Chain A
Amino acid sequence: MSGDQGTGGRELTYLEAIAEALSVEMERDERVLVLGEDVGGTFGGAFKVTKGLAERFGDRRVMNTPIAELGFVGMANGMALMGLRPVVEVQFADFISTAFDSIVQFAATNHYRWGGAIPWVIRAPSDGGIRSGPFHSQNPEAWFVHTPGLKVVAPATPADAKGLLISAIRDDNPVIFFEAKPLYRSVRGPVPEGEYLVPIGDARIARRGSDVTIVTYGSQLHEALAAAERLAVDGIDTEVVDLRTLKPLDVDTVLDSVARTGRVLVVHSANRNAGVGAEVAARIAEEAFMWLDAPVTRLGGLDIPIPFSPPLEDAYRPDATKIEAAVRKLVAF
């Protein structure tokens, strides 16, 4: 667990922090290259995360690909086996399913099966709340958290986005990096310059509190922090744990917090059934039962495809208001 989010005066958006991590690593290490749909040229990707990289590093290191996720993630498998460090952008996390075999069958199993390391990163712009409908709003992290051999990270702040992406690129294993796209331009924060690394597998206490713990990650961190401020008005002191890495899970930080508060709410944008929150809740039930003063509670998306229309999408998603209500219920238990 570490809490340092940088204290320098400089602030970047979440998106700028990711772009900076790519530049830092491409500058440092010739083996790092970027590939994906529309990432190259002057265009720089659907969200412009890679804009400017092709001018700076050339087409050889910033490769446009056809619409062929299974193929280009598979290609990244071979590049990684031969010693390169590809960073693959799947344009939306929703499309990652098209590359499923290349990820969960080949990349995830390879080192166990015969020792060939696959050091790639897949950057997957995920999450919704921005009125993008069923196929541009998904949070498919649970599929990958369930898969042995992968690592899964989901940063919520600009500093963590930079620090975790650099760590992911330097990791010798396949890492899926879920970017919360509603945060790209809406969140700005201090980001250390240069080679700033946040270790994979390390949760962060984003807010200290003593009455109740919210365990969350990604865009819901900001909803949880907003809810905590409202709850504080009524004297409810909320601790917020930002998981940051979903696999491997930093269970110790979660259990330590639960031991201090005795009440826990797990929140994520992904639908609730068999989501990451289920694993967190199970670990708490197994290992911190004696500390609990109330049932472990989960708040996730509804178990439905993600709807488009604002009232429907708002009904689907957790937000600060729903989190606040859930915490009040927990505290009153």
Chain B
Amino acid sequence: MDADLRISLHAWMVLTRTFDDAMVSMWKQGRGLGGTFSQRGHEAISVGAGMALGPDDVVAPMHRDLGTYLVRGMSPERIFSNLLGKATGPSRGRDANLHGMGDLGLGIIGYISHIPQALPTTLGAAMAFRYRGERRVAMTFVGDGGTCSGGFHETLNMAALYRAPFVLVIENNQYAYSTPLHQQMAVSDLAARAASYGVAAERVDGNDVEAVYRAVSAAVERARNGEGPSAIEAVTMRMLGHAIHDGAEYVPAELLEEWAAKDPIERHRNVLLEDGVVDTVDLEKMREVAQQRIAEAIAEAEKAPYPDPATVTEGVYA
């Protein structure tokens, strides 16, 4: 893999983690608004998968795919503005946290809470590309929990049936809110669920950004070449609670310790150092740049205006 690409993957993960750490700390200080969702531990998936798309492709990220929003070019200022209910966020104060952050100019379809609504919607985007003969791909994400929902099965069946240019990344982070995998399903291989519909499926280490990037890139290429849909199960761990209020006491401490040792950013950092792609000075600079960038974004979002209540009914209809 090209050194610049490896560095870029790392830099986006660092920016994502820096955003997340700052957000969690803001909410704990009472400077947040409503709830929010930490994506800690998911950086390799959201960044690796997001980077695998081309500029004309479309993606529907979930609430833990902060890295994908950033990679697609949504600025940290706009995202913090959305989190704080400001007029300058992509939903103009209409939708909460990382929901409703659609921007078709950036190829992003906004997320809704109803799992797995993003799946059939994204399939529809893929079908529109196929309908017009465009070499574009549509990608979305689902958690382990979402694979239990009917819409997951309906979508994968149709994606395979229509050979749609559709890519699904299954983020197996071990928990659906407080419910562990073994209480959600009698199977443990989520890729097999997709494969059973005739969707090309594989499982990757979701804490290895380069592995995620390679697997999703291959899936995107297949989709672009008319070879049909793919599902990639990326195995990881949700390192904090479901949402900011959730202490996740139900997760065994030893499980978190085990996964903390596999932290995607720490791991990639060591690989880059071992391979001589970067040195510690580069990494320190990368961290400082990210911190500076996020601090500026927060300052801008905090001073941005709230939406005018006179506009509350605007936009219900196109």
| Pair B110/A113 contact, Cβ less than 8 Å | yes
| Pair B102/A114 contact, Cβ less than 8 Å | yes
Residues of A within 8 A of B215 (CB): none
A66-B158, A77-B120 given; A116·B109 CB < 8 A: yes
| Pair A79/B161 contact, Cβ less than 8 Å | no
Residues of A within 8 A of B103 (CB): 114
Complex Cα–Cα for A78 and B136 (A): 14
| Pair B121/A114 contact, Cβ less than 8 Å | no
Residues of A within 8 A of B154 (CB): 66, 68, 70-72, 74
| Pair A81/B121 contact, Cβ less than 8 Å | yes
Complex Cα–Cα for A77 and B124 (A): 7
Among A60, A106, A111, A119, max chain B CB count under 10 A is at: A106
Residues of B within 8 A of A113 (CB): 91, 94-95, 99-100, 102, 110, 112
Pick the residue among A60, A101, A148, A173 that contacts B318 (CB under 8 A): A173
Among B104, B122, B154, B157, max chain A CB count under 10 A is at: B154
Residues of A within 8 A of B223 (CB): none
- Is residue B272 contacting chain A, with contact meaning CB distance below 8 A? no
Pick the residue among A60, A71, A101 that contacts B114 (CB under 8 A): A101
- Is residue A310 contacting chain B, with contact meaning CB distance below 8 A? no
A68-B158, A106-B114 given; A111·B316 CB < 8 A: yes
Pick the residue among A106, A109, A117, A172 that contacts B121 (CB under 8 A): A106
| Pair A74/B119 contact, Cβ less than 8 Å | yes
| Pair A101/B117 contact, Cβ less than 8 Å | yes
- Is residue B14 contacting chain A, with contact meaning CB distance below 8 A? no
Complex Cα–Cα for A113 and B93 (A): 8
Residues of A within 8 A of B128 (CB): 78-79, 81-84
- Is residue A65 contacting chain B, with contact meaning CB distance below 8 A? yes
- Is residue A112 contacting chain B, with contact meaning CB distance below 8 A? yes
Among B122, B127, B318, max chain A CB count under 10 A is at: B318
Nearest chain B CB to A154 CB, angstrom units: 19
| Pair B120/A74 contact, Cβ less than 8 Å | yes
Complex Cα–Cα for A279 and B99 (A): 32
Nearest chain B CB to A13 CB, angstrom units: 31
| Pair B117/A82 contact, Cβ less than 8 Å | no
- Is residue A214 contacting chain B, with contact meaning CB distance below 8 A? no
- Is residue A76 contacting chain B, with contact meaning CB distance below 8 A? yes
Q: Chain A 99-141 against B: per-residue CB contact (8 Å), 1 yes, 0 no? A: 0011001100111111111110000000000000000000000
| Pair B120/A71 contact, Cβ less than 8 Å | yes
- Is residue A312 contacting chain B, with contact meaning CB distance below 8 A? no
Residues of B within 8 A of A149 (CB): 316-317
Among B100, B129, B131, B315, max chain A CB count under 10 A is at: B131
| Pair B120/A102 contact, Cβ less than 8 Å | yes
- Is residue B16 contacting chain A, with contact meaning CB distance below 8 A? no
| Pair B95/A114 contact, Cβ less than 8 Å | yes
How many chain B residues sit at the interface, stated as a range, is 35 or more
Nearest chain A CB to B121 CB, angstrom units: 4
Complex Cα–Cα for A115 and B318 (A): 8
| Pair B127/A71 contact, Cβ less than 8 Å | no
| Pair B120/A81 contact, Cβ less than 8 Å | no
Residues of A within 8 A of B117 (CB): 74, 101-102, 105-106
Q: How many residues in A have their beta carbons less than 8 Å from beta carbons of B?
A: 41
- Is residue A75 contacting chain B, with contact meaning CB distance below 8 A? yes
- Is residue B170 contacting chain A, with contact meaning CB distance below 8 A? no
- Is residue B146 contacting chain A, with contact meaning CB distance below 8 A? no
| Pair B158/A71 contact, Cβ less than 8 Å | yes
Complex Cα–Cα for A148 and B317 (A): 9
Q: Chain A 26-63 against B: per-residue CB contact (8 Å), 1 yes, 0 no? A: 00000001000000000000000000000000001000
Complex Cα–Cα for A194 and B103 (A): 37
Residues of B within 8 A of A114 (CB): 90-91, 94-95, 100-103, 110
Which chain B residue lies CB-closest to A64?
B161
Complex Cα–Cα for A197 and B105 (A): 32
Residues of B within 8 A of A112 (CB): 94, 315-316
Residues of B within 8 A of A153 (CB): none
Complex Cα–Cα for A115 and B317 (A): 9
Pick the residue among B90, B95, B151 that contacts A71 (CB under 8 A): B151
Complex Cα–Cα for A76 and B124 (A): 6
Residues of A within 8 A of B126 (CB): 78
- Is residue A215 contacting chain B, with contact meaning CB distance below 8 A? no
Complex Cα–Cα for A86 and B127 (A): 11
Among A33, A79, A149, A173, max chain B CB count under 10 A is at: A79
| Pair B124/A82 contact, Cβ less than 8 Å | yes
Residues of A within 8 A of B123 (CB): 71, 74-75, 78
Complex Cα–Cα for A109 and B95 (A): 10
Residues of B within 8 A of A106 (CB): 112, 114, 117, 121
A106-B114, A114-B110 given; A75·B158 CB < 8 A: yes
| Pair A80/B158 contact, Cβ less than 8 Å | no
- Is residue B309 contacting chain A, with contact meaning CB distance below 8 A? no
Which residues of A are in contact with B by a Cβ distance under 8 Å? 33, 60, 65-66, 68, 70-84, 86, 101-102, 105-106, 109-119, 148-149, 151, 172-173
Question: Can you add 12 more A-B contacts, CB < 8 Å, to A66-B158, A114-B102?
Answer: A68-B158, A71-B151, A75-B121, A78-B123, A78-B125, A78-B126, A81-B109, A112-B316, A114-B100, A118-B318, A119-B318, A149-B317
Which residues of B are in contact with A by a Cβ distance under 8 Å? 58, 90-91, 94-95, 99-104, 109-110, 112-114, 117, 119-129, 131, 138, 150-151, 154-155, 157-158, 161, 315-318
The 8 closest A-B CB pairs, nearest first, are: A78-B124, A74-B120, A71-B154, A82-B128, A117-B318, A68-B154, A114-B102, A113-B100
A to B CB contacts below 8 Å, 20 in the list: A66-B161, A71-B120, A71-B155, A71-B158, A74-B119, A76-B124, A78-B128, A78-B138, A79-B128, A111-B317, A112-B94, A113-B99, A113-B112, A114-B90, A116-B102, A116-B104, A116-B110, A148-B316, A149-B316, A173-B318
